[in-house]
Amino acid sequence: MLSLFHPTNWSQACVSWIHEIHVAFDPPTPVEPGKGGFLRIMRLPTRGLAALVALSFTLHCTRPPVAWSPMPTGTHGPGAAEGQPYMEEGLASWYGGEDDGFAGRPTANGETFDPNQFTCAHRTLPLGCFVEVENLENRKRTVLRVNDRGPFMKGRILDLSQRGAKELGFLGIGTTRIRLRTVDAMGLPVALDPAFDKANPYVVQVAALSNPKNIESLRSELSNTFGEISLQGATTRTGLNVKRVRVGSYTSRQDAEQSAEQIAKLLKDRGVEPFITRQH
């Protein structure tokens, strides 16, 4: 006879208990048409909500992405491929300090220069366009509007307002290396309009002189070779009134560069370093 605690007796006891278990369910309650509790009530509005979410998701995913890219890291000279932003890298300075006398003067586009505005001067970019400027020394960036012409010093590509220099962190230094590219008012890269070259041609600025005899002598010498010579009045930072002697009217930058090279060779013994700018 097996012990009460033998596994075989445990197994037989469990089988007996299972056979004695009866599970009973209440019969289903019939549901009248049009009724069905909370879930059925929520079924119709849930379908509408799901359709609305699906439509919103579809519109969001099919919207074209914003064409934004980080500031390039390479070195770019003047100009840009068709359909690409204008990019340039070089030395920048600033103007509008208390001792340079530029505050309150008219800029190239007719505005009154305000050193506290986010503006800058460039030799060839369209007046009114925007540029994103990056200080390569500290990686600070800001967006400025071109409203003036300059800088008219060798080796510099951009003159920032005092506010712009402060924003880029080189106010106490005077100059810094920068990289710029053309953007729209929202700061997104944008290409230049080719029609601008025809509306505001390039010119080659040869020198800025104050002596009337020297001005006339240089004008006569250049007109024999290059034809069209123009003079533009200006005032230097020291308050000296000068005439900017300019050559030509070019709708192609390449043509302007060729003339600048010829002028540099012609006047190489006089220390003249012509550069390209715009008529206006």
Mean pLDDT, the chain, rounded, equals 82
User: According to the model, what pLDDT value does residue 61 have?
Assistant: 44
| pLDDT one-digit tens code per residue, 181-204 | 999 999 999 999 989 988 999 999
For residue 7, pLDDT over 80 is answered with: no
User: According to the model, what pLDDT value does residue 50 have?
Assistant: 59
For residue 172, pLDDT over 50 is answered with: yes
User: According to the model, what pLDDT value does residue 88 have?
Assistant: 97
Averaged pLDDT, 115-120: 98
Q: How far, in Å, CA of 144 to CA of 157, rounded? A: 14
Contacts of 259 (CB under 8 A, 6+ apart): 204, 226, 247, 248, 250
Averaged pLDDT, 174-185: 97
- For residue 257 the two structure tokens come to 């560069």
Averaged pLDDT, 107-133: 97
Q: How far, in Å, CA of 116 to CA of 135, rounded? A: 19
User: According to the model, what pLDDT value does residue 41 have?
Assistant: 53
User: According to the model, what pLDDT value does residue 239 have?
Assistant: 81
Q: Which domains does the chain have, with CATH numbers?
A: 87-183 (2.40.40.10), 195-278 (3.30.70.1070)
User: According to the model, what pLDDT value does residue 175 have?
Assistant: 97
| pLDDT one-digit tens code per residue, 21-45 | 454 445 555 555 555 555 455 555 5
